[in-house]
Amino acid sequence: MRRLLFKSLVQGPLTEPAPTADDAAIVELAASVNRSARKQLGRTLAIRQVDAGSCNGCELEIHALNNVFYDLERFGLRFVASPRHADVLLVTGPVTVNMREALERTYAATPDPKWVVAVGDCARNGGVFAGSPACVGGVHHVLPVDLHIPGCPPPPVALLRGLLALLESASRD
Amino acid sequence: MNWPHSIVTRDDWEQAGERLRREEASLLGLWGEPGFAHMALVEPEGCVVLSCACQGNRYPSIGRVHPPAIRLERAMRDLVGLEAEGLPDPRPWLRHDGAYAFLPAEGESLHQIPVGPVHAGIIEPGHFRFTANGETVVRLEARLGYVHKGVDALLAGASLERAAMLAGRVSGDSTVAYALAFSQAVEAALALSPPPRAVWLRALAAELERLANHFGDIGAVCNDAAFAIMHARFGLLREQVLRTADACFGHRLMMDRVVPGGMRCDLSPDGKALITSLLALVRKQFPELVEIYDNTASLKDRTVDTGILSPALARQFAAGGYVGRASGRKFDARRTPGYAPYDRLHFDVPVVQAGDVNARVWIRIQEVTQSAALIEQILGQLPSGPVFEPVDSRAATGPRSGIALVEGFRGDVLAWVRIGADGQVERCHLRDPSWFQWPLLEAAIEGNIVADFPLCNKSFNCSYSGHDL
């Protein structure tokens, strides 16, 4: 193990340069991020992920944000264990009927100011599951959504670009 | 290749239940449609499908004599409305309406810990009800169904193309395995075989998927034992596999690449070279990490003897994948019933008896080595030619059904499909390996401390979405 630790020291970081923030996302966010919220938050956002019926594909890519290539925490973005600690809810899935109440309760437990980011095609409009009686279909049917990150699932770079746009909008003076 | 299918009487159906109880056969799946209950079994002479006509929407319960069938029968009632006569547990399962009565645990100083459906990590939703005496878990009961999306209902009446997309999204981590199982079932129903190159490319994609998931899982188990460097290192390997998959097939998880009739795209021109350098990276880094896993006492202290699943239970529940193979059950769908091109490839199916978290990690470690060797063999023998042949699923002769069993990273995925005369899917059922693994997690955690649950859970890594359909 000492050998591995030493190699990690001399090898240098594998973390890749940050992608640019998604322009479309900045436009979508302009309306929802107000000045008072920006002052409170500074340049850091705590994210609570909620799977509201995804196939777990989105979760795999959200997980990847924490790996050495994307290293989400260098931007001041971090995942937290409770909605009570969160500024952002990152919601995936077509919102199943069975998850609706849990999603609503999670939102209610998140302190203001807060944003909802709908991740993946299912969270936008139900995706391939649209029309199923077991799904509500799209996060916006249940919560006010501030930003959509499309994709099935969105690759980590797309997630990163969307989240950076949110961070920029939230910390701009 | 299709399996023998017979429509049986109630007596024969009950006889099959008896064979399951005596462990002369193992249960692969149990599902229904209006008027019929279906069951897939591995008998000594091979895999078979039995169907039982349900007069008055009733059929004799298999769960009455063979507990692994209980949740399947509860789900069948929720989804199709068929009643299993004599079902020992009448509570709803995938349908959530009203309060749910958890099973009781009685004794002194017991307290309950409710967890979920929204968990602390980035994972899928489900509810776990622990009853504990101090730190020690006396009973765990899972309540699932939170991500029930109505997949069976969406599949009924879908075109083959749409159905393949849905199949690939039953459990995103196994998207290749599901798409492959569905495509093989369709091809069995229509008695057609995809071009040889497609068959080999499918195996290539399936083994890449296995590699990526096993890397993720081994790292995550170490992370749950607070050993972060392994998580970082295995995360690196996983990411490299996904990037290679993206460069080779145009999608990081290889979604929608396997379709009835073959593959939707060929391997990219530089694919072979990319995979060869991926294998070189794995061969260089993986043994070092395995050595660290094996020589770190504080890590082994958490995994050895934790969450033991007995071989008897693994056998009774016909547990697939690393869960079964870590508890002495040597079953691999690539061997039984087996499918091309694995009949022309050399690989071992690792099995150990210990049944603890460590054993489930070791099975994955050995499977990584096997998958890497398989990928090398596949690249060496990859035939040339087309990768897709259009499928004409219409026929005047009436509906045709097909079934397939495919080895995903987690275990065997069962797909059954019936295609109508109009060429659309009439009914389709996809059974995740997790159906037979979730109940075993409840058994494995008994007597362990609450703090070891994440470790046990990760070592099983059951699919919520695949189970909830």
- Give the residue on A whose Cα is nearest the Cα of B152: A132
The stretch A61-72 carries a mean pLDDT of: 93
- With contact defined as beta carbons under 8 Å apart, do B233 and B285 qualify? yes
Residue ranges in B109-150 assigned as alpha helix (H):
none
Q: Do B292 and A83 touch (CB under 8 A)?
A: no
Residue A35 pLDDT exceeds 60: no
- With contact defined as beta carbons under 8 Å apart, do B60 and B102 qualify? no
Residue A31 pLDDT exceeds 70: no
Strand positions, DSSP E, A33-143:
45-51, 77-79, 88-92, 115-119
Residues of B in contact with A50 (CB under 8 A): 118, 125
Candidates B117, B120, B229; nearest CB to A81: B120
Point out the residues of chain B with pLDDT beneath 70. Answer: 1, 396
Which residues numbered 66-125 in A keep a CB inside 8 Å of some CB on B?
Answer: 66-69, 79, 81-83, 93-94, 96-99, 102, 106
Residue A152 pLDDT exceeds 50: yes
ipTM: 0.94
What digits encode the pLDDT tens for the residues A11-24? Answer: 888 888 888 888 77
- With contact defined as beta carbons under 8 Å apart, do A117 and A89 qualify? yes
Residue A26 pLDDT exceeds 70: yes
φ and ψ at B407, to 5 degrees?
A: -85, 105
- Residue B56 structure tokens: 């008055």
Report the SS3 class of residue B245: helix
- What pLDDT shows up at residue B16? 95
State the Cα–Cα distance between residues B246 and B260, nearest whole angstrom: 21
- With contact defined as beta carbons under 8 Å apart, do B428 and B195 qualify? no
Compute CA distances B135 → B8, B132, B432, whole Å: 50, 6, 32
* More confident site: B420 or A44: B420
- Residue B241 structure tokens: 């596999």
Q: Where residue A3 falls among pLDDT bands split at 50, 70, 90?
A: confident
- Give the residue on B whose Cα is nearest the Cα of A129: B149
Which residues numbered 26-55 in A keep a CB inside 8 Å of some CB on B?
Answer: 49-55
Residue A171 pLDDT exceeds 70: no
Pick the closest to residue B169 from B198, B146, B149 (CA basis): B149
State the Cα–Cα distance between residues B107 and B128, nearest whole angstrom: 20
- Residue B57 structure tokens: 């929407």
Return all residues near A154 (Cβ < 8 A) that are at least 6 apart.
A58, A61, A119, A120, A162
- What pLDDT shows up at residue A173? 46
- What pLDDT shows up at residue A19? 85
- What pLDDT shows up at residue B121? 87
- What pLDDT shows up at residue B368? 97
Residues of B in contact with A102 (CB under 8 A): 117-118, 125, 146
Residue A79 pLDDT exceeds 50: yes
- Give the residue on B whose Cα is nearest the Cα of A85: B120
